[in-house]
Structure 1
């Protein structure tokens, strides 16, 4: 059963369109929406999409649209998700899903009242390398988790921020934590389990922006494992790298900055006996495609069967709890737990636009 999609926002939305096109038996992009006339024309012509509009409400009135794919700037996600659910549409939404834990709780409540469901985008989970590692762990072969390290060493120049919404608390909702490292932090929890607490420091050192572009963090996971993370937008050689140390296996990702889940991953067993178990676990293994292409296949299956979505609002909530704890730790200079509820000081807004911004500027001068 082919599902009709309307893509809203033709920046990163173009990548979504390419990935839907990789599944012509599952999806058809029937409409695009963007405020930029030139981009509407360019993307529409490139992919042969005749229905083009600048009016989001018009998309919601399209009776043949099954999925509204939200690829707009973060500050408008909540409004567009809630409106799409109210119209009975399924929703795909780019990260960060919304701007606070309170907002994701609103989305969770709205989804329960709608016939539509929300797929938060964490496409880095898909790739043959990371899925092989996850399979070994899920089979119980890896054993006790010990320690992990996460590196997000990317490059963004002033040209990247020559944009009406990037680099600003009000519109981008944060910096390297929100827009870039969020992917790798999701992979950390995907592989190692939920985070219990975080201690972090941040600075704005690379570009003249409001938000942070350098972060380091020390994390404790709920299962007792430890993790370190470092992220910057000032690296001349772009890499993403994860290393996971378990009792019986050590894993290390490839270093592709925007596809760390792809092969080749190092899978280092503790003994020949462990290697034999790994070999047996991969008998009949089916290759997992990368990023959106890998994600959209199980997404379609979930829509058709009514089964669980491959990524859920619970996953998104955990991600936003981690962001909230990061920013709270950065301001207070203390470890913070991930128990973020209505009584948390940043439940409704994790922004450091006021007092926290002074911390970032001070660190930048040092």
Structure 2
């Protein structure tokens, strides 16, 4: 019988999606307590998901000896401190995106985890586990794509004034960034997931759609470390919401569906350069083994990694790649110059990309 990990959840917003993921993995996880400052929402989730206990005391919850995992679903500016407390209390951590507010905090957390000798932290990038994107990863692993040439990613969504009525949104101090950090981050993680780290970024970013502090529209040109190029665009001013990922390789073009929030899922299209290679691709796709996706799959893989004593399916290094892209884009927007990666300790935005 699989070990069942006991979970405490902090937050009552995006936490509902996490709780659905745990509910689909009932044999692997037991959510015992939910912590939220919003009592109405918190108790409603406890009722909906049959969570036996509600609390408003995160510190006491983290210190409990009867919990194995702390799942952090709070606004971004609280992620680092809650993660630190949980790791130092000997707990594994699941934390929503964006993980932290700087590359420095990612590197400091790596040191905290190393000192703790046991607890693991897993950043959330649940979109990776859509079957369309997983099929592309499989084709790459099988050597059926050829060399990468160009990737284009569009994150074109709509966010109006009602979205920013939530007090912490649209502000540097609490949301930590705009559409690049909080919205396009999933699609841009897919870029790193497929191709590895970025090497250089040039970016324009601006605020056009809503009277907020942070950017809601951006265009990026990217050179990847593997030699390929990428073009990324993001706006929260698209009345027709789409997400589109298109990967051009020497032997294949892979293209996602346009559904804005499930773009990793089937049916993706995979078009080869000739009939013979198309048959090889189609045969490989026919043998693909379908799994759960989203939070359900990421949590399932996290359980397996903990049982085996392996690194989590999404690592601090993955989160670093993601936040390096954001940091470099912000620096390029402010300097008007291309920005090289990696972002190391001497970089002006290493400790924070917040203005001023």
TM range (shorter): over 0.9
Output the CA distance in 1 between the equivalents of 2:69 and 2:259.
30
Look up the match of 1:359: none
Match in the other structure for 1:108: 110
Contact 1:259-1:290 at 8 Å conserved across structures: no
How many residues matched?
A: 353
- Which is further off, 284-293 or 66-75? 284-293
In structure 1, the residue matched to 2:128 is 125
Calculate the TM-score normalised by the size of structure 1: 0.94
In structure 2, do the counterparts of structure 1 residues 153 and 160 end up closer, same or farther at CA, with 3 Å as the change threshold?
same
Aligned to 1:96: 98
Q: Which residue of 2 aligns with 1:18?
A: 20
- Which of 144, 147, 159 is residue 144 of structure 1 equivalent to? 147
Structure 2: gaps of 5 or more residues: none
State yes or no: 1:277 paired with 2:287: no
Cα RMSD of the aligned pairs, angstroms, is 1.1
Q: Which residue of 182, 186, 193 corresponds with 2:185? A: 182
Structure 1 equivalent of residue 7 of structure 2: 5
Distance 2:229 2:128 in 1: 21
- Asked if 1:77 is matched to 2:79, the reply is yes
**How far has the Cα of 1:309 moved from its partner?**
1.3
Residues 144-203 of structure 1, C-alpha deviation per residue, up to 9 Å, x if partnerless?
100010000111111111122110001100000110011111001111232111000011
**2:11–2:42 Cα contact (<8 Å) kept:** no
Structure 1 position 242 matched with structure 2 position 250: no
- Give the secondary structure class of the aligned counterpart of 1:161: helix
Shift of residue 50 of structure 1? 1.9
Distance 1:129 1:269 in 2: 16
2:52 aligns with 50
TM-score (norm 2): 0.97
Distance across 2 between alignment mates of 1:154 and 1:204: 14
Q: CA deviation at 1:284?
A: 4.0
Indicate conservation of the 8 Å contact 1:131/1:288, yes or no.
no
Q: CA deviation at 1:10?
A: 1.1
Q: How does 1:36-47 map to 2 (within 5 A)?
A: 36-47=38-49
CA contact (8 A) 2:69 2:92 kept: yes
Helix, strand or coil at the partner of 2:164: coil
Distance 1:189 1:84 in 2: 28
Q: Which residue is 2:160 aligned to?
A: 157
Do the aligned partners of 2:169 and 2:175 also contact (CA within 8 Å) in 1? yes
Q: 4+ runs of 1 displaced by more than 6 Å?
A: none
The separation in 2 between residues aligned to 1:267 and 1:19, in whole angstroms, is: 29
Task: Write the distance in 1 (CA, Å) between the matches of 2:34 and 2:262.
Answer: 26
The Cα of 1:283 is off from its aligned counterpart by: 5.5
Partner Cα separation in structure 1 for residue 285 and residue 346 of structure 2: 46
